[in-house]
Structure 1
Amino acid sequence: MLCILILVFWVANSTFARGDHNPNYSCDFGDAPTVTQITEPIDHSETPSWDGRRDMLYYVDVHTGRVLSYNYDTGKVHSITLGSGSIGPVVQTKNKDVLLVGFNRSIVAVEWDGKNNMSKKTVLTQVSDRFPDSHFNDGKTDKNGRLWWGTMGLTPDIQNQGALYKITSQNLNKPDVVISPVNVSNGLAWNKANDKFYYINFPARKIFAYDFNLEKGEISNQKVVFDLEDHKQLSGKPDGMTIDIEDNLWIALFGGGSVIKVNPTTGQLLNKIAIPAQYVTDTMFGGPNLDILFVTTFKYTLTDEQKKQQPAAGALFAVKILKTKGRPVFEAFRKCEMRKISWFHCNYHQIK
């Protein structure tokens, strides 16, 4: 409780100063989780993805077309711009210099080392021809290298123009539609056994679970495993999420200023961690030991007065002392031969 009171005071009174690894916000009381601001704010930070090969976190600034990298060792942030438009998921491939990025309705392969200028980019496919104003929002890669990426309409208030797609190296010309229609295809995760798939269809205040067939890449038997309406103390709507080694979900609450920890098997709310920004967008475990929870936030539609009250909104945060850790992310198209772009350097054989 004391930590929350300190947090409220900090939000109202602190300012961000440029620096290297010195925390600009930190709340630390013994073994309680600590929350530290580690970057300058941007408009809409989203879709964090940890690459342990470089000790680097990739994320995006949705409305500026930028992919950013946070170097854990130096604390420095670098970025590239793909163009004018909305930018969505960013995931790693077998080649550590190649990322797959959602840009508007397209999947783009980008050659970038996370520090210097972008070398090359190639559009691999485009989805959602029926809704030309739609764009990718969130997405991840399953254990077999398939992309599970979802779209939304031009703005979150436009309903039923989104879908969740399954994309492989073999169906690039016509990706499979898995769930349709959805409003805003959002957070997703798989359990350790890879027989459960968790999903958020924003702005519904529910977390859905499906049975997952890893070999076939199929989901079935939807059910609700957590409903925020059963927890009146929780404000906001579930946005992005990740999962830890104990199969607990860590869910960003957009408009709720917090991250919650949920056991999807029992439906129990295990923890709530306050973040000094009202709009929390996504979560991802990272760090050398995968025991740091990186949290992205949003300031895009805040008024000038709200920005004064929330000077850290839009920043990237690191939450520590969680007494758990995450699992490494999977590489996209990890068993494939991408003949479409010879520099992709992805070989072996095509995934199913």
Structure 2
Amino acid sequence: MKYSLRHVLAVQAELGECPLWSVKEQVLYFLDILAPAIHRYDPQSGDHDVFPVEQHIGCLGLRAAGGFVAALRSGVCFMDAQGRITRWLGENPDPTDKSRFNDGRVDPWGRFWCGNLWQPQDRNGAHLCRLDNQLNLRVMAGDIKISNGLAFSPDRRWMYHSDTPNGMLYRYPLDSEGEPGAREVLRRFDDAADGLPDGAAVDVEGYYWSALYAGGKVVRIDPANGDIVASIPLPVRWPTMVAFGGADLKTLYVTSSREDRSAQELARYPQSGDLFAIDLPIAGIAEPQFTGG
């Protein structure tokens, strides 16, 4: 597959995450979870704005009513366009001294999915939650260490979900209302050979794009069998998530991390924490908006 890689922003995020393209605004939003802030980047003007957030922020989605729905360390809330909390909606189902919300996105039915992580890493103590259009937040799945890689197939038949430290990529069959069935293993990742599956997005052909944390690359995965059909190396070892953007949705934005990296590692990968873009011949899917509330 032909592609071109660009270094977009030397943002040096502690833990860059959750790139999110707004079709309406033609801008990219992304997060720094640990130096908590929402970043807004306009590729046309080059403007880069940063909106500090009061606690660790794992993921966010666009609201049809304006602003965001977001999952922070302690719970899920609505935010305005500058990252100010306007309404709390539900609590993290796990103790916040051991857990925070992490990856998530809005589904094709306009609901917000958000998973957390279990920080002690001594058991599969994390959960995947969903905020429905009536603003009810409930646990949808467990047996996870770090919830990641949430994405939906363009035909609405499948939901994808990864567990990063366990090296697992799962899929769930969806019914016509978007309710998930039993999860299936789509691929097991070998940490030493591949890296670990982190954040993801799906293209218009239904292929799953995953950022491989500690793998230094982004891969395209066949949804039928879990095979890697394309691999794009990056100048950083710790990519965290991808999102399709640009006017034609053929730009794959990639966030990255410098969390807990040694001075030697950062000297070898000085762009760790920065934002990258990969220009592709295949388009992604416009992100749905949360329709509740």
Aligned match for 1:161, one of 95, 101, 125: 125
Asked if 1:218 corresponds to 2:218, the answer is: no
1:192 matches 2:163: no
**CA distance, structure 1, for counterparts of residue 51 and residue 166 of structure 2:** 33
Matched, 1:250 2:219: no
1:244-296 deviations in Å (ceiling 9; x for gaps): 00000111000000001111113332110001111110011001110000001
Q: 1:240 aligns with which of 194, 199, 208?
A: 199
1:1-352 to structure 2, matched below 5 A, reads: 32-40=2-10, 41-83=12-54, 85-96=55-66, 98-112=67-81, 121-130=86-95, 132-154=97-119, 157-172=121-136, 175-215=137-177, 217-229=178-190, 234-320=193-279, 322-332=280-290, 334=291, 336=292, 338=293
CA distance in 2, matches of 1:166, 1:118: 21
Q: Which structure carries more strand by proportion? A: 2
Distance 1:233 1:301 in 2: 19
Question: 1:38 touches 1:75 (CA, 8 Å); kept in 2?
Answer: no
Supply the distance in 2 between the matched residues of 1:158 and 1:244 (Cα, whole angstroms). 35
Q: Take 1:181 and 1:224, find their aligned partners in 2: how far apart are those partners? A: 13
Kept after mapping to 2: 8 A contact 1:87/1:101: yes
Number of residue equivalences:
292
TM (norm. structure 2) is 0.93
Which amino acid letter does the alignment assign opposite residue 138 of structure 1? Answer: D
CA contact (8 A) 1:65 1:103 kept: no
Gaps of at least 5 residues in structure 2 are none
Q: Hey, what's the Cα distance between the residues in 2 that align with 1:220 and 1:48?
A: 28
Q: How well do the aligned residues superpose, as a CA RMSD in angstroms? A: 1.9
Structure 1: any 5+ residue segments left out of the alignment?
A: 1-30, 339-352
Residues 1:227 and 1:129: Cα distance change in structure 2 (over 3 Å): closer
User: Percent identity of the aligned residues?
Assistant: 24
Secondary structure of the structure 2 residue equivalent to 1:221: coil
Which amino acid is 1:54 matched to? E
Between the aligned partners of 2:42 and 2:52, the Cα distance in structure 1 is: 18
Amino acid paired to 1:95: A
Q: Which deviations, in whole Å up to 9, do the C-alpha atoms of 1:75-114 show, x marking residues without a partner? A: 221111121x321101101134x111221121121111xx
Q: TM-score, normalised by structure 1?
A: 0.78
- Give the counterpart letter for 1:38 in structure 2: V
Q: Post-superposition shift, 1:309?
A: 1.2
* Larger radius of gyration between Structure 1 and Structure 2: 1
* Kept in 1: contact 2:73–2:92 (CA 8 A): no
* Structure 2 residue matching 1:319: 3-state secondary structure: strand
* Aligned amino acid, residue 211 of structure 1: P
- Report the 3-state secondary structure (helix = DSSP H, G, I; strand = E; otherwise coil) of the residue aligned with 2:265: helix
